[in-house]
């Protein structure tokens, strides 16, 4: 009887913990504050670039841009420049560039946020990645260029 009661409590606890699904925000990357008060996170995951968008309370948003053009520049002579375009990807709110960014992941990235039908970028950012090699939480960039 005691085992039955314990297993019932465990089942109820497990059920309640899975009942509320809250999207998990990944640590790392560079958090960029945008002019509208929302945020964009530039993140390298599994050697690919991800740009995710969040509101002021860090809740995921659908991107308000169609694509992000990314230019990666390194100081190493092996692969000095790489170009990628982050586009919408299925299953997650955000943009992903389907280009492999080869390690080492120490580079400068120039991000141009683009909208359909507009030739010039609507926003432009410069990011040193990673900004702080010891950071366990996103580093915030507050200034937009251009």
> What structural domains does the chain harbor?
32-140 (2.60.40)
C-beta of residue 120 within 8 angstroms of C-beta of residue 130: no
Structure-token match 């659908």, residue found: 62
Q: Considering only residues 48 and 102, tell me which one the structure prediction assigns the higher pLDDT.
A: 48
- Evaluated on CA atoms 45, 31, 51, 114, the torsion sign reads negative
* Statement: the pTM of the whole predicted model exceeds 0.85: no
Structure tokens, 115: 């909208």
**Among candidate residues 29, 46, 44, 51, the one with its CA nearest the CA of residue 141:** 29
Average pLDDT of the segment spanning 81-110: 87
Report which listed range, 91-95, 103-107, 122-126, is most confident: 122-126
């Amino acid at each position: 009887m005691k085992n039955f009661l314990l297993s019932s409590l465990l089942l109820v606890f497990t059920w309640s913990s899975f009942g509320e699904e809250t999207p998990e925000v990944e640590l790392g990357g560079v958090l960029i504050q945008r002019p509208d008060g929302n945020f964009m996170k530039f993140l390298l995951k599994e050697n690919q670039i991800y740009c995710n968008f969040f509101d002021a309370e860090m809740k995921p948003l659908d991107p308000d841009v169609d694509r992000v053009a990314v230019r990666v520049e390194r100081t190493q002579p092996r692969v000095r420049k790489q170009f990628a375009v982050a586009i919408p990807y299925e299953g997650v709110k955000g943009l992903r560039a389907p280009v492999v960014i080869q390690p080492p992941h120490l580079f400068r990235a120039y991000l141009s946020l683009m909208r359909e039908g507009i030739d010039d970028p609507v926003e432009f950012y410069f990011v040193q990645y990673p900004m702080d090699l010891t950071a366990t939480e996103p580093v915030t960039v507050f200034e937009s260029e251009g």
